Chain A
Amino acid sequence: MVLNKFLLPERLPRQFIYAGDRHCEIFTLAKNRIIRRQRIAGAVLAEPDAGSWPEITARLQPMDTGIILNSDPFIFNFFEFDKLPWSRKLLRELVDWKLQKIFPENIEAYDHQFFRLNKKKIFSILIKKMFLEQVESLFREKRMPLIYIGNSTLEILNRLAKLKCPPDFFVELDNSSCALVFQSKGIPIYIRKFKSGSRSDMAAEINKTVQFVKNSYGCDPRSYFFCDHQEEVSADGIAAELAGENLSCRSATTAGGTPYIPGSQ
């Protein structure tokens, strides 16, 4: 699999749609730079039946396209084992078995992918197959090549992994959606998604989560990044509230302006 990635590297599209919470944003890239950015407020790609599709396609250029979905449709899990088998097949069986113990729904209905974080830890990601099929069929109908479907949180995580001094956690804000990703020694240890109505509630939830991670994972998260998908800068209020809890917000520009868009600088 790794050899495949090395020998047959995938081409990144030059057009991305970020499918956010009650909005979409179309990015056009050239030479790793975003040359065009169009925000479509109220457009919900994550719900193909919502009727936003014609509006989105009207703005798309006929070229290879990718979709970056926010964390809403995804289910993240971390599994820890005493020892991980080398065989991919055995590992899948082991992870599936572990997942079945905690996952109440039918796993067959989900696309399940997992990644080896270290010798003991597995990062598992689930998304409904039906949802993926719906999105792909929309593009197929428009004869638009859809060559990338990714997740913004993972893209940010990948981008932060390149930093010499990554933050202890990052907050991905998208309207009422919020994803918190905590890292320790360069690997993610805890992800929490939640929805919140107000900024102060969001700050309180973040603080609670920080305390939870502090107590449960034996680490002391201090620094964080904000990755805000809002048009107007909305994270400042939260940052101000979190500053009172000894949490320092670092500038996310070190990770690039749009770290959730793969291939952009």
Chain B
Amino acid sequence: MRKINYNLAGTRKIDGRAFAMTVAILLLAIVLFNGITILNLARQQRQNRIEKNEIRFVAVKLEELQQKTLQQQKEIDVWKKTLEQKLAFANLLIGRKSFSFISRLNFLEKVCSVGMRVHQLSITNEPAGWMQMTVSALTQNKLLGLYKKLLPYDLVIANENQSAENYQANLSFRIKDETK
């Protein structure tokens, strides 16, 4: 049973010693709780500081990584541009079919019969580019035979000379459809 405090006196006195003890205990409790709170806060702040440092370190690292990423991106962009240029150039080359000059030479070999000599040859390295050549033949018939073969290829006879041993001509023509 809880103590029954029954005092009917109109004037009561506070027990100074007990009051002081109670106040002291309360103060001590307050100091203790404050101390614990301060300790906890300090510990938390220390932990926060450590975490902040870690975060700062991670942030610096992240920034470095971002910088690196940016730099790499720039490099990639530069490479991309170079590659695009190279690709464009390659595509240009493919478009121009500059590689077909061998087939043009093969064609020449095919159309020039025995007894003919090609003295000079210039090839424009572009699709359907003009080919100019100086050619000589032992007989005029052979030269005429060549003219016949080259007629479908926009043949232009710049000049034709006749000497004691042979017949010489400066010709230019172009192969429009090189797949043939």
A: which residues have CB within 8 A of B? 5-12, 64, 66, 111, 113, 115-117, 123, 125, 127, 132, 136, 145-151, 154, 157-158, 161, 186-188
B6 touches A150 (CB 8 A): yes
B4 touches A149 (CB 8 A): no
B22 touches A158 (CB 8 A): no
B4 touches A64 (CB 8 A): no
Q: Number of contacting residues on B, CB 8 A?
A: 19
Measured in the bound complex, the distance between the Cα atoms of B167 and A226 in whole Å is 165
Within the complex, which residue of A5, A11, A154 is in contact with B13, where a contact is CB–CB below 8 Å? A11
A10 touches B15 (CB 8 A): yes
Within the complex, which residue of B2, B6, B16, B22 is in contact with A7, where a contact is CB–CB below 8 Å? B22
Q: Is B3 an interface residue (CB 8 A)?
A: yes
Q: A116 contacts which chain B residues (CB < 8 A)?
A: 2
Within the complex, which residue of B1, B6, B10, B19 is in contact with A9, where a contact is CB–CB below 8 Å? B19
Measured in the bound complex, the distance between the Cα atoms of B147 and A51 in whole Å is 170
A146 touches B4 (CB 8 A): no
Within the complex, which residue of B7, B14, B18, B19 is in contact with A149, where a contact is CB–CB below 8 Å? B7
Could you list 30 A-B pairs, sorted by A, with CB under 8 Å? Answer: A7-B22, A8-B19, A9-B15, A9-B22, A10-B12, A10-B13, A10-B14, A11-B12, A11-B13, A11-B15, A12-B15, A64-B13, A111-B8, A113-B6, A115-B6, A123-B4, A125-B6, A127-B8, A132-B8, A146-B9, A146-B10, A146-B11, A147-B9, A148-B12, A150-B6, A150-B7, A154-B6, A157-B1, A161-B3, A186-B1
A145 touches B11 (CB 8 A): yes
Q: Is B5 an interface residue (CB 8 A)?
A: yes
B4 touches A158 (CB 8 A): yes
